[in-house]
Amino acid sequence: MKAFISIDLEGMPHIVSVEHLAPKRALYDEARKIITKVTLAAIEALHENGFSEVIVADSHGPMINLLIDELPEYVEVVRGYPRPVSMVYGVENCDLAVFLGYHAKAGTARSTFDHTYSGLTIASLVINGIEASEFLLNAWAAGHYDVPVVLVAGEEKLLSDDVAKYAPWVERIILKRSASRYAAISPSLTRIVKELRSGVARAVEKFRNGECKPLKTNYPVEMRVKFFKSSFTDAAELIPGAERIDALTVKFTAKDIIEAYKVFQLMTLAAFAINAITTPR
């Protein structure tokens, strides 16, 4: 049996400052220790519950956050960016998926680091009429390969909103409760490790009892992407098949969620390029 783990940083416990989020920032080393400890707890719990192999997709920022020398020999790590289907690359070869450190979508009030994929460029992502969080985007991508998400650990607003609404069978572990975009209360890491271990055990039992479903969306996929700047939309509408709806929004119809995901990544990269070109140095 093989398990897949996708890890993000903004929904991890005690991560509240921009100084946590990137290499060369003052608190990045602390953040790396936190994300590694939380991930290791889930890895070990999966292994104890019958999974001989675990793939971990390091999926925040440059996607090189984990302290890899602390991971067991039965773990494979996906690192680096860009890569196809970004945060869930490698999920198609697994039996189930676990998401760690996930956060609420852009525009969520009083939620730490609320954003959807790119806090710099993306105002919203709408898939088949549903405003999508990273949880939904990645769960639909896993569902394309019939892989169910069985546990999500992260920021409370995400868990009580998209996870509870669209995937009520998923085990939910609260890693922090937000007070604002840059403040939250988190349990101790000791407590979180215990809750994750028991949560994984419950999730695996549900999976074996057939209670966990792959999350699906309808095909073809209509995707609408709203940007923060019209210059980002200028770039996105150059992609063949993209249709500009207004100053900030483009629409794209994809054959499935995997194609939609790849086009969305390309739009985001194009927006980053425009930002780099037009930002004074």
Shared-domain flag, residues 99 and 176: yes
Look up the CATH number of the domain holding residue 83.
3.40.50.10780
**% of the chain at pLDDT higher than 70:** 100
Query: Do both 61 and 160 map to the same domain?
Result: yes
Query: Are residues 264 and 222 in contact, defined by beta-carbon separation less than 8 angstroms?
Result: no
Give me the residue label for tokens 């003052």: 26
Whether residue 264 sits in one domain with residue 182: no
Q: What is the DSSP letter of 248?
A: S
Q: Is the sign of the CA dihedral 13, 19, 21, 24 positive or negative?
A: negative
Q: Which of helix, strand or coil describes residue 265?
A: helix
pLDDT bucket at 209, cuts 50 / 70 / 90: very high
Is 151 in the same domain as 186? yes
Task: Flag whether pLDDT at 87 surpasses 90.
Answer: yes
pLDDT for 279 equals 87
Q: If 0-12 CB within 10 Å is exposed, 13-18 middle and 19+ buried, where does residue 160 land?
A: middle
Cis amide bond preceding 240, omega within 30: no
Residue 213 resides in a domain: no
Structure tokens at 261: 């995901």
pLDDT at 20 (0 to 100): 98
- Amino acid, res. 103: H
- Tally of domains within the chain: 2
Residue 215: the pLDDT is 98
End of a domain among 150, 178, 208? 208
Residue carrying the six token digits 């969520």: 108
- Per 3-state DSSP, what percentage of the chain is helix, strand, and coil (rounded to 5)? 35, 25, 40
Query: Does residue 34 belong to any structural domain of this protein?
Result: yes
- Angle of helix 134-144 versus helix 257-278 axis, rounded to 10: 140
pLDDT reading at 255 higher than 90 = yes
* Domain assignment present for 126: no
Outline where DSSP puts E strands in the chain: 2-7, 53-58, 75-78, 96-102, 122-127, 130-131, 149-155, 171-180, 183-185, 221-227, 243-244, 249-254
- What does the mean pLDDT of the chain come to? 97
pLDDT of residue 92: 97
What's the rounded mean pLDDT across residues 34-45?
98
Domain that holds residue 94: 2-117+133-208
The reply to whether 100 and 186 lie within a common domain is: yes
Helix (H, G, I), strand (E, B) or coil at 46: helix
DSSP state of 205: H
The DSSP output letter for 252 is E
Asked if pLDDT for residue 125 goes beyond 80, the answer is yes
Span 199-207, average pLDDT: 98
Which residues, in sequence order, are CB contacts of 94 under 8 Å at separation 6+? Answer: 2, 3, 4, 55, 147
pLDDT greater than 90 at residue 281: no
Neighbours of 108 (CB within 10 A): 21
Does one domain contain both 256 and 154? Answer: no
Output the DSSP codes for 50-110. T-SEEEEEE-STTS--S-GGGS-TTEEEE--SS-TTGGGTTGGG-SEEEEEEE-PPTT-TT
What is the number of helices (H) and of strands (E) in the chain? 7, 12
pLDDT band with cut points at 50, 70 and 90 for residue 280 = confident
Flag whether 246 is in a domain.
Answer: yes
Is the pLDDT at 82 greater than 80? The verdict is yes
